Amino acid sequence: MAGQVPKVLIIEDEPAQREVLAYNLEAEGFQVAQAGDGEEGLLLVEEETPDLILLDWMLPGLSGIEVCRRLKSKSETRGLPVVMLSARSEEVDRVRGLETGADDYMVKPYSLAELMARVRAHLRRSRPASVGERLEWTDIVLDSETHRVTRSGQELKLGPTEFRLLTTFMERPGRVWSREQLLDRVWGRDIYVDTRTVDVHVGRLRKALTKHGHEDPVRTVRGAGYALG
Ligand code: CA
């Protein structure tokens, strides 16, 4: 399903390590983006809107800690899970890594199986629908396995695009999504779609959600985009 597959950004300066990670993440069914240093990594966070970051501690230029600190100090990226990868194992470094706001920390050489398990665990919290969880927000319930949506117990009929749009909104209630971010998340990066298409589908989603006389839960944020609630 385009756009619903979680995307992991790897920020790691050693190409061989980056490739091993990318290969394994892709084999697990994830989309992968890669950066060779912190500056590029921060750029890709904006361009690729990843769902999780694997961040090497020792990077040329901006250190992994600094990258993490910047991500955690901005409201748009604060909720993005960051797993730090480090060759250091001293307790003091582990504490420093977590103090910068990193969500998790793995010491090299780590077990790939364990890393994948932790990636899934973090995504279950940050992108629950991508791993088959049921989403609830006010009176709306979305079941990502059966593709059923109800509002106050009444079933709503949604097209596949509206379903993905609602999933995106319900995973992060209150977050303001730009049209470009919605295009990337809902339609997928590889498909060319005009941003006005987003407006059309948001309109259809609103119609479905308000069909039984309920209030419109989608908020239009002038000059910015859309948000749920
Ligand atoms: Ca390194």
- 36: domain CATH number is 3.40.50.2300
pLDDT at res. 94: 67
* CATH code assigned at 212: 1.10.10.10
Rounded-to-integer distance, Cα 151 and Cα 137, Å: 10
- From 2, 69, 51, 59, select the one nearest 35 (Cα to Cα): 59
Distance 96 CA to ligand 1 centre (A): 17
- Give the lowest-confidence range in 87-91, 109-113, 199-203: 87-91
Please say which residue of 126, 157, 186 terminates a domain: 126
CA of 194 to the centre of ligand 1 (A): 39
Give residue 55 CA to ligand 1 midpoint distance, Å: 9
CA of 12 to the centre of ligand 1 (A): 6
pLDDT at 172: 87
Q: Do both 143 and 82 map to the same domain? A: no
Say if residue 45 is in the same domain as residue 108.
Answer: yes
| Backbone CA torsion sign across 182, 207, 158, 79 | positive
pLDDT tens-digit profile of 160-171?
Answer: 999 999 999 998
* Residue 56 CA to ligand 1 centre (angstroms): 6
Give the pLDDT confidence of 67-93 residue by residue, as tens digits: 999 999 998 898 899 999 988 666 667
| Whether 38 and 75 share a structural domain | yes
Mean pLDDT of the chain: 89
Q: What is the pLDDT of residue 101?
A: 85
Q: What pTM value is reported for the model?
A: 0.70
143: domain range?
130-228
CA of 34 to the centre of ligand 1 (A): 14
**Of 126, 159, 190, the domain-final residue:** 126
> What's the pLDDT score for residue 1?
38
Average pLDDT over residues 2-29: 90
Same domain? For 139 and 49 the reply is no
Per the structure, how many domains does the chain have?
Answer: 2
Q: Tell me the residue ranges of DSSP E strands in the chain.
A: 7-11, 31-35, 52-56, 82-86, 104-107, 134-137, 140-143, 148-151, 154-156, 218-221, 225-228
Query: How many whole angstroms from 67 Cα to the centroid of ligand 1?
Result: 13
Residues 154 and 96 reside in one and the same domain:
no
Cα 217 versus chain centre, distance: 22
Of 78, 106, 126, the residue that ends a domain is 126
Same domain, 28 and 122: yes
Statement to judge: residues 80 and 14 lie in one domain: yes
For residue 57, how far is its CA from the centre of ligand 1 (angstroms)? 6
Pair (183, 222) in one structural domain: yes
